[in-house]
Amino acid sequence: MNKALGIAIIGTGMIGAVHRRAAALSGGVLRGVVASSPERTRAVAHEWQCEAYADADAVFADKAIDVVHICTPNATHHDLARRALLAGKHVICEKPLATSLANATELATLARDTGLVTAVPFVYRYHPMVREARARIAAGELGALNLIHGNYLQDWLLGANDTNWRVDAVKGGASRAFADIGSHWCDLMEWVTGERFVETVSSLRTVLAERPAATRATFSGSADANEAKMTVTTEDIAGALLRTNQGTLATLTISQVSAGRKNHLWFEIDGMKESLTFNQEEPERLWVGQRDAMQLFVKDPSQGSAEQRRLATLPAGHAQGYADCFEAFVADTYSQIRGEPREGLPTFADGARSAQIVEAILASAKQRAWTSIPA
């Protein structure tokens, strides 16, 4: 059970490189890669010093591969993850797990039936202060919850010439901003509070009706203004009011066109006794509000809840961020594969749950009405 895990990465863009680093730090041995073309595969394999697989089938047939990391455009996730599971591989698949609820549910069922370890990178669960918030709520320190509110704001698609494969509904799915980043916020809130969203009323807006058809790498900049244009059918902005199974209201704003906001995931949870606030761009602190006082709880491996201490791998005052979360997520996945379960690992079941919420958001926006979400 302590043998080095052989891994393969399918998809070698920005997030593929993040997976590669996290895997190496977690003891995975990169056997090979598959990229978007044979030329790209060979170039990345040379750079990463591993094998260039001819295609995904070659990955699934390789008995040296224990774990497949799927880092490709959204529309390919279902097929690749299904084939990997049928080949007996453990799978880490980028989110969304699939571009339809039916396909995401199929994958969650297949993962359960095969008994293989599966994971979806809802990595913001791995901020130490998020773990602290969850522990405090579970211990009853906030009392009954009154309100959940927050946002996830970015600006990388603000310009008229900004584009990416996610903009294309064929590659990215019917929802863009909400499925891409709203899904993170919703997963985080359900996991932190222990409550489940059961209905929503939402509204979507596409700010730019056209964007360049030639895509660019994620966060890499604008295309040429003279390039051919395509019609945009996916949303730039989403707003949602949600209600949980305990009757708690949640308000959420999602945007990929908010100037100056790079990766602003923020939430506040208000209870009868206390409130908690977390900002992903300032992840070292948890704001705790009381009727007569306010305090800042700071990440510290010697203080707070057990999970906060486990994930606070650096001393207080030494910042940890997104990369640390991703590395902890992959390390926990590999621990699970080795028979050492970890708390809070987001699985394919969580990926299917996210697809339920995305489908309800799209349906509500289309119908302009409250829409149920199966709990």
Domain boundaries, the chain: 5-123, 126-316+347-372
Position 2 pLDDT exceeds 70 = no
CATH of domain 5-123: 3.40.50.720
Position 236 pLDDT exceeds 70 = yes
Q: How many alpha carbons lie under 13 Å from residue 362 in its C-beta half-sphere? A: 20
Position 221 pLDDT exceeds 70 = no
Position 237 pLDDT exceeds 90 = yes
Q: For the chain, what is the mean pLDDT?
A: 96
**pLDDT for position 239:** 98
Position 310 pLDDT exceeds 80 = yes
**pLDDT for position 227:** 79
Question: Could you tell me what percent of the chain has a pLDDT over 90?
Answer: 94
Structure tokens at 127: 């901020």
Q: Is 302 helix (H, G, I), strand (E, B) or coil?
A: coil
Q: How far is CA 360 from CA 90, 104, 241, 328, 357, in A?
A: 29, 14, 12, 31, 5
| pLDDT level of residue 1 (50, 70, 90 thresholds) | low
Under 8 Å between Cβ of 337 and 321 = no
| pLDDT digit string, tens, across residues 154-171 | 999 999 999 999 999 999
**pLDDT for position 220:** 67
**pLDDT for position 222:** 67
**At a CB cut-off of 8 Å and minimum separation 6, what does 237 contact?**
177, 204, 205, 207, 253, 254, 255, 256, 257
| pLDDT digit string, tens, across residues 18-44 | 999 999 999 999 999 999 999 999 999
**pLDDT for position 176:** 97
Position 294 pLDDT exceeds 80 = yes
Same fold, 5-123 and 126-316+347-372: no
Structure tokens at 300: 């510290």
**pLDDT for position 224:** 67
Mean pLDDT value across residues 327-333: 98
| pLDDT digit string, tens, across residues 72-119 | 999 999 999 999 999 999 999 999 999 999 999 999 999 999 999 999
181 secondary structure, DSSP code: I
Element (H, E) at 25: helix 14-25
| pLDDT level of residue 226 (50, 70, 90 thresholds) | confident
Under 8 Å between Cβ of 76 and 16 = no
| pLDDT level of residue 348 (50, 70, 90 thresholds) | very high
Superfamily of domain 126-316+347-372: Dihydrodipicolinate Reductase; domain 2 (3.30.360.10)
Tell the burial category of 155 from Cβ atoms under 10 Å away from its Cβ (0-12, 13-18, 19+). middle
| pLDDT level of residue 228 (50, 70, 90 thresholds) | confident
Q: From CA 96, how far away is CA 269, in angstroms rounded?
A: 25
**pLDDT for position 137:** 98
